[in-house]
Structure 1
Amino acid sequence: MDKAFLELAVRNIEIFFATEGCGKLVYGDKTIRLEQGDLVLLPIGEDIEVNRGAAASPSLRMAYRKFHANHLGMAAPILPMRWKVFPRHVEEFERLLCGLPERGNPDSESDGISAGWEGFMNWMLMEPEKSELRPFEAEDSPIRQALSIMSCRFMNSLSVPEISRRVAMSTRHFQRVFKSFTGRSFVQLLQEIRIRHSCGLLQYTRLSVQAVAETVGISDMYSFYRLFRSHCGMTPAAFRLRNQAL
């Protein structure tokens, strides 16, 4: 699961949200333990098995949605991501998720999609008092650990020495293995993650362009405009005008 894994994740996303009980998801060769409030976004492409918790615990109950990445305004994470919704907000988030239209066709449209996705984007990036980002379990391979950290912390300052230290690899070896696994350098992939999320914020929120850049972790506006044009072929304002869902 390497470059093809990343490209598949860009196109299709499955969202699992544990609303009650405990258990685990078996996703390919990965086991993801779940309890109430856990939200997991995974690229479609591997068989997924849901295992319930022990008999002494309530049965695992989950809310589920499947999306084509285009419906997140290119903001769909290109890597697995895990979130924790705080207990007092579980019911609210379940209503929000279940109210979103499920989409498998990138060309399909919905009059109600904009309001739903604006709320979803607010949850995912802009309401830290309701949810938090968490890496996957440490049992992942070092590169998958790094990818998980990047997808969870892309809005913060991240460096190769910091990430390589956290996954217990030398900087040089980490860069070589990372490029082999993803087909991109660490910096290139981090920039791509940030720009994809900025596209979603431009499409589904009313944030200013500067606020969008700062939200995804790019403080220099010249760099943001340059990266955005390089990835999307247009300015942020032109992208918003063409794709605005509000």
Structure 2
Amino acid sequence: MEQVRQMFKEEGFFGDHLLLYVNRAVEDFILPLHSHEFIELAYVAEGKGFHYIEEEVQRIHRGQLHVIPIGTSHVFRPTSMDAARDPLIVYNCIFPKSLIDRLMPLLIDEPVAAYIEGLKEETRSYHAVFDADAEIERLFLLLYKEYSLPRSGSTTYLNTLLLQLIVTIYRLHTDTSHAIPSQPARFLQLLSYLEQNYAEKLTLAHLSGRFQWSERHLQRLFKRHTGQGFNYYLQSLRIQKSCEQLRSTQLKISRIAESVGYKDLSSFMVVFRRIVGQTPGAYRQTFNQSFKPQPD
């Protein structure tokens, strides 16, 4: 891997009032290995690839959140030169140490405050977490929308979203680094399994055999930890994945439906309209008026 060629400075990204920068990057092979004077939170939103960080090379995939400390050299790379076939899309949220100083008076929980204060340290170790329940994705989409389309009060709103994001990362980081009750840990593994296999033919019976819980107990766990029954949770996950494709590809709706686990297009249309409140075609047009999808 190439040596560090570039150091990103604070003045290239931040103004006097907004000490925050958010973007959505389609990763390529142009950006060199680099480090920066600020903290970076990078969320892998679509695809897979590689993360070159210091002396390591790590495989990465959708749903990972990477915390990159000040002064750490790194770069993301897709799996191939063909971005259309093998895209790697990463949302970045960057901020300087001075923003942490502004936010510290708002923090009450001492462990969380210590974690956030620690992000200022250049000796802080790099770490990553997995977004099993899509909470980090939700916050990044809100951050990107607010940053791209600022309105009255946007600076305050962005700062509160950043705090929510860091607290969520802290929870995931501590949950995966220390002992936690076995049942919640196992259920998080189950949700991660669904995240990776949502397009397959999944049933409570299948999950029961794989994770050694009775079907009845699994239903109780879904209600307790997600507020939804298994079937509704799976439907919502599949529709969420279809929405991502509708926003970012020109695939036919019938092909998208099949890719997220619906063999019958009419069933997909009914579930999509119930959850989203509009048809897939109307949803796609809402996000890009100039979008020209393939005809169904």
Q: TM-score range by the shorter chain?
A: 0.5 to 0.7
Q: Could you say if the C-alpha distance between residues 49 and 233 of structure 1 is closer, same or farther in structure 2, counting changes exceeding 3 Å? A: closer
Shift, 1:171, TM fit: 1.3
**Counterpart amino acid of 2:258?**
E
What is the 5 A alignment of 1:1-246? 15=43, 19-20=51-52, 36-39=58-61, 41-42=63-64, 62-63=74-75, 89=79, 96-97=88-89, 104-109=143-148, 141-244=185-288, 246=291
Shift, 1:214, TM fit: 0.5
Shift, 1:205, TM fit: 0.8
Q: Could you say if the C-alpha distance between residues 108 and 36 of structure 1 is closer, same or farther in structure 2, counting changes exceeding 3 Å? A: same
Bigger relative contact order, structure 1 or 2, given CA contacts below 8 A and separation 6+? Answer: 1
Partners of 1:91 and 1:22 in 2: CA distance: 23
Residues 86-142 of structure 1 show CA distances to partners (whole Å, capped at 9, x for unaligned) of xx92788899446x67672424549xxxxxxxxxxxxxxxxxxxxxxxxx9xx8722
Partners of 1:96 and 1:222 in 2: CA distance: 31
Q: Percentage identity across aligned positions?
A: 25
Contact preservation (8 Å) 2:223, 2:229 = yes
Partners of 2:87 and 2:199 in 1: CA distance: 27
**Counterpart amino acid of 1:228?**
F
Under a length normalisation based on structure 1, what TM-score does the superposition of the two structures give? 0.53
> Counterpart in 1 of 2:124?
none
The alignment yields a C-alpha RMSD, in angstroms, of 3.9
Contact preservation (8 Å) 2:247, 2:287 = yes
Gaps of 5+ in 1: 1-12, 24-33, 52-59, 65-84, 111-135
Partners of 1:226 and 1:207 in 2: CA distance: 19
Contact preservation (8 Å) 1:15, 1:39 = no
Contact preservation (8 Å) 1:18, 1:62 = no
Contact preservation (8 Å) 1:19, 1:90 = no
Shift, 1:35, TM fit: 5.9
Under a length normalisation based on structure 2, what TM-score does the superposition of the two structures give? 0.45
Q: Could you say if the C-alpha distance between residues 62 and 178 of structure 1 is closer, same or farther in structure 2, counting changes exceeding 3 Å? A: farther
Partners of 1:61 and 1:106 in 2: CA distance: 28
* Secondary structure in 2 matching 1:176: helix
